[in-house]
Amino acid sequence: MSDVVREVISNADRLYADGIRLRSLGSNRTASSLFILAMEEAGKACILQWLDFGYNKKRLLGELSTGHIEKQLVYMAYVYVKCLRSVAEIVSHPAHPFFDFRSKVPNLREALASAIHKQSPYHQSTLTTGLYDHVKQSGFYTDVMDNLTLADPAFKDGAIIQHLEEDARDALAMAREEKLIQRVHASMYFNEVLMKPIPGKKRREILPGIISRLNGANLRGP
């Protein structure tokens, strides 16, 4: 791990720790923003580690500086890695793509599909829709509408703070994963079937419904 990666992870740790402090003081909106920023920094640390893996270097370099939602989606890819690890052991392989799997269950494909079905819906509803980015902005700004009325915050204080804290803490562990897991993680991120960010216009159309659900119920389910 390079000194640059270590420094980025250290900054993610700082943002997470500050989020914990603010949450303890009851400042949930600002704490939420800091948790999401910590997630983005953790995503940046992963992207830096992926530059040597032979993926689209131009795309990764662009996302280092401007891809806020993309850095959040690095965590979405990690959710899939966690699903895989719940049903299989990831092991080294001497040839391309440098890793293989040892199933922990009789039917790996069925078990993996079940794990993804259970684990990913919440993050598909928040990360791929850009909601986390919207929540991050809402923690810092008061939006004024065209008719000079105030926009409602992205969510009621505390509605998803626990999930954001858990995700940020998980993202810090993600950034510290060993090289083998980072290779698998990168392959998930570049998988066009699994990783399908919703286009900006469509995101804006569906966000009000997602926010309404967040304010009224737990998207993670039982």
In a domain, 222, yes or no: no
For 167-193, the pLDDT digits (tens) are: 999 999 999 999 999 999 999 999 887
Listed in sequence order, the residues at least 6 apart from 78 whose beta carbon sits closer than 8 Å to its beta carbon are: 46, 170, 171, 174, 185, 188
> Cis omega (within 30 of 0) on the bond before 97?
yes
Name the band, by pLDDT with cuts 50, 70 and 90, for residue 217: low
Domain containing 173 equals: 3-216
Please report, rounded to a whole number, the percentage of residues in the chain having pLDDT higher than 90: 50
User: How many domains are there within the chain?
Assistant: 1
In a domain, 23, yes or no: yes
* pLDDT at 222 > cutoff 60: no
| Distance set, CA 100 to CA 90, 119, 215 (Å) | 6, 22, 42
pTM of the model as a whole: 0.88
Mean pLDDT of 123-141: 86
In a domain, 26, yes or no: yes
Q: Which of 46-50, 203-207, 213-217 has the lowest mean pLDDT?
A: 213-217
* pLDDT at 142 > cutoff 80: no
Main-chain phi, psi angles of 32, to 5 degrees: -60, -45
In a domain, 221, yes or no: no
